[in-house]
Chain A
Amino acid sequence: MNLLSPDPGLVFWTGLTFIILLYVLSKYAWRPILHAIRVREHTIKYALAAAERSQQEAESMEKLKKKTLAEAALERDRLIAEARDLKSTIIDDAKKSAQKEADKIIESTRQMLKKEKDDVLKQMKEQVAILSVDIAGKLLEQELKTTVKQKELINKYLEEMSFN
């Protein structure tokens, strides 16, 4: 049994073959393959990181968008409410001032009327007095003797009369 004794010829050929194999494979297989695999691994790692980054960016953009939208909605509601308030205030104010104006006009009209009436009454009184005096004078002239005491008496009576 020479199974256990290495045959020098086969050792030589195995060694030579292995060295050639090692050289050729290193140069034409392992180096390009390992290099390409490494490049690919880096590319994948980089691409994954970039994807994650852009996803995060997109998420934050989405958040920002939502926030902005919510703020805009709030602002809108606020503006609408404000406008509504403003509207009612304006209407109220207008109503009030109109009322006031109307009241004023009515008041002044009333005063004017009152004044006119007073004037008229005064004039009437005077007129009546004059007339009465005239009448009385005429009456007295005709029937009685006209005296100052009589005139005064008539005036006193007129004054006591109520026209209201």
Chain B
Amino acid sequence: MVKSFRILLVSVFIWVSGTILFAEEHEGKAAEEQQFDALGMIMHHISDSHFWHVIAFEKKDGSVFEISIPLPVILIYDGSIHLFLSSAFHHGKSVVQKGNHFFKLHHDKIYVTDAAGELTFSEDGTPENIKPLDFSITKNVASMWMSVLIIFALFVSSARKYKGKPSAPSGIQSFVEPLILFVRDDIVIEQIGEEKADRFMPFLLTVFFFVWINNLIGLIPFFPGGSNVSGNIAFTFTLALFAFILINVNGTKTYWKDIFATPGVPGMVRIILIPIEVVGIFTKPFALMIRLFANITAGHIVILSLTSLVFILKTVYVSPVSMSLTLFMFLLELLVGLLQAYIFTLLSALFIGMAVHNEEH
């Protein structure tokens, strides 16, 4: 039962990857031909921002009505910390002065400028000004904290129900418990083995739910959802980094021996093999990082592209097609959100399992 479920998940994963690639190509062509800046809109939606956008629309008199929550900006530049709200930028129109320094927002990135806010652009259109170290609470950070609150609410409250005598799960427990058991039995214990599984259980459970909940939040099309946290390379990089550290810190003698003194391989071949094995140490978490980033970002891009179809073709008659495809993609992405959380956790567990295994072979 579980095995066939797993096979289904993996085959869906392969199929979905294909579909997304195809859809991306398709979108690229559509965007080029039309005036509507679909690419700009999509890039804006999938990148991080200093504002938490709620709603915006054009009024009859042509002025834009917009609600967006300003988020705190924290900059480290020239040895001091500058703290202010992002509303001070007036969406990039104003220059913010802090002490002797002037900061300007350009395409959601903060640059150091002169008092007039002059930006010098390089040939490909990116500003050449210095970027301060940006530790702002951006939309992604805020959204991530929201996911943390949701996870706390979900699990700390259900953990409370486990106090006292053993009893049948009820309420939120019946939702949470099968998931926990799935991660425990079919991911962690199966990949790492019964005796060593307990040490990695908290990390892998946390990763699974952190990724999954953030994937789901990313799919909510309106405030406070819609951020692309788990499709942000920084997010996946950090999680992959933790996995990398765990894999290598817990690597046994067998693991390191396999890398630097592969048994049963003659000396000359070893010289060729060692660099490959060393690169392998880094490619494993790198693949984790890219896989999650690409899948989630691609999902967002496809959904946004399909929605943009109405504006690109400038006809309302395409909306049934566009909407039904979008709906289909949403449903697919719901699955992909779970699938990617599963795959990230499964592969982390697999790599950890490979690193901690101790048998001679």
Contacts and interface: CB of A to CB of B under 8 A. Distances in A.
Interface of A: 1-15, 17-18, 20-22, 24-26, 28-37, 39-40, 43-44
Interface of B: 43, 46-48, 74, 109, 133-138, 140-141, 144-145, 148, 151-152, 155-156, 158-159, 162-163, 166-167, 176-177, 180-181, 184, 201-203, 205-206, 210, 232-235, 237-239, 241-242, 297
Contacts of B109: 2
Contacts of B202: 22, 25-26, 30-31
A39 B151 CA distance: 24
A36 to B, nearest CB: 3
Contacts of A29: 155-156, 158-159
B142 to A, nearest CB: 10
Contact of A10 (B74, B138, B163): B138
B155 A10 contact: no
A151 B90 CA distance: 193
Tell which of A14, A17, A34, A44 has the most Cβ of chain B within 10 Å: A14
A4 B205 contact: no
A162 B156 CA distance: 140
Contacts of B158: 29, 33
B180 A5 contact: no
Contacts of B148: 17, 20-21
Contacts, number: 121
A14 B235 contact: yes
Nearest to A15: B238
A39 B166 contact: yes
B158 to A, nearest CB: 7
Given A4-B233, A17-B145, A21-B148, A32 B133 contact: no
Contacts of B210: 18, 21
A9 B141 CA distance: 9
Contacts of A12: 135
Contacts of A34: 180, 184, 201
B141 A25 contact: no
Given A7-B134, A10-B232, A13-B135, A18 B162 contact: no
Contacts of B203: 22
Contacts of A5: 233
A155 to B, nearest CB: 131
Nearest to B134: A9
17 contacts: A1-B43, A2-B109, A6-B234, A7-B232, A9-B74, A9-B133, A12-B135, A17-B141, A17-B148, A25-B151, A25-B156, A25-B206, A29-B156, A30-B206, A32-B162, A35-B162, A37-B177
